[in-house]
Amino acid sequence: MFVMKISAIQMNTGSEKAANLAQARDLSAQAVLRDRPDMLVLPEVFAFMGSSVEDKRAAAEELPEVGETGAEAYETLRAIARDHSVFVHGGSFVERDGDAFFNTTVAFDRTGAELARYRKIHLFDVTTPDGRDYRESDTFGAGRDVVTYDADGTTIGCSICYDLRFAELYRALAEAGADVIMVPAAFTLQTGKDHWEVLLRARAIETQTYVVAAAQTGTYFEGNDERASWGHSMIVNPWGHMIAQAGEGTGHASAEIDRDYISIVRARIPVAQHRVL
């Protein structure tokens, strides 16, 4: 039996980058001390959230060549991995690539070596039921690549937040061999209270994978507008059961990933063999 313990870190990120990075380090250390995970997963835009488009872009980082030294958020993730000897799925932060900007995940192994990069494919351009406009495309360009990577023989699939609503991406990740699909997120309070758990459980059932969702929680400011994130980070197993959940405050949720159980679920209902479209 192969078991990997994963902790989903729940943060309340704001527009002070140094404070956000300190929060990520502190919450990661707490999770390691309490639960001894093999992997930590941070939320979407863990390094900087809110403020203006200009401020978000000013907080962006160019990704280094693999093996070279990066900027603050990148090196914070590497240090967490190296200092605690854990895999780190780095949520996401703002990446600058020339004149373009992306909402990007970077993952690291236990030594701090980079494993993967993923740019968010689906951008959140939505007006929520409370009348607030979210225009992610004002800040970011869209990624194109479906990304997986290996962590101790477990295949990890990459997604970010709004990607969750697009089942075709998750099917592509499953077909690429994903055992676990990561969903670092900053789900709004308005959408999260109705859709968050339903979507996470649906994606887990459809793909017969574990789904690990590390979320933003609490309030932040977009200009002068106070906004709220839903929180409730959770881990869902391939049968669709929620096996760990955080509340509304900062903290973490931890659970064990059992690759043998994935095989049991896929044998019980062999949807991959029955698919005709």
pLDDT at 67: 85
| pLDDT one-digit tens code per residue, 141-161 | 999 999 999 999 999 999 999
The domain in which residue 229 lies consists of 3-274
* The two three-digit tokens of residue 179, written as one number: 């055992």
Whether the pLDDT of residue 122 is over 80: the answer is yes
5 is catalytic: no
Q: Which of 92, 192, 182, 74 is nearest to 139 (CA)?
A: 92
Mean pLDDT of the chain: 97
Using CA atoms, how far apart are residues 257 and 101, in angstroms rounded to an integer?
33
Query: In angstroms, how far is the first alpha carbon of the chain from the final one?
Result: 33
Q: Which tens digits make up the pLDDT trace of 220-248?
A: 999 899 999 999 999 999 999 999 999 88
Is residue 197 part of the annotated active site? The answer reads no
Tell me what pLDDT residue 206 has.
97
Tell me which of 17, 61, 158, 161 is the catalytic residue: 161
Residue 121 is part of a domain; what is its CATH number? 3.60.110.10
Its pTM stands at 0.97
Closest CA to 53 of 103, 109, 8: 103
Q: Which of 17, 44, 61, 158 is catalytic?
A: 44
> What's the domain count of the chain?
1
Examine the pLDDT at 90 and tell me if it is beyond 80.
yes
Instruction: Confirm whether 44 is a catalytic residue.
Output: yes
Choosing from 95, 114, 120, 158, the catalytic residue is: 120
